[in-house]
Amino acid sequence: MNQGWLPPTEYYATLPALIGSGGVLCRDAHGRVLLVETSYQTDDVYETLVVR
């Protein structure tokens, strides 16, 4: 079921009104920063991005 492309104004109307992200910097009393390695992505993701 191919409905075709939407005109730009209709397409933009379907996008979220707000695009957001978040982040946290955790430090202890000595000023050390907590570094966390993600476990949901593999190195293949980054290799694929570099190749493209």
Question: Going residue by residue through the chain (52 aa), what tens digit of pLDDT does each one get?
Answer: 557 889 999 999 888 887 777 778 899 999 999 988 766 655 555 555 454 4
Identify the pLDDT of residue 31. 92
Identify the pLDDT of residue 41. 58
CA torsion angle for 30, 34, 35, 39 (degrees, to 10)?
A: 160
Phi first, then psi: give them for residue 27, nearest 5 degrees.
Answer: -125, 150
What's the CA gap between 45 and 41, in Å, rounded? 7
Identify the pLDDT of residue 52. 45
Q: Report yes or no on whether pTM surpasses 0.85.
A: no
What's the CA gap between 42 and 52, in Å, rounded? 17
Kind and range of the H or E run holding 51 = helix 43-51
Six-digit token pair at 27?
């430090």
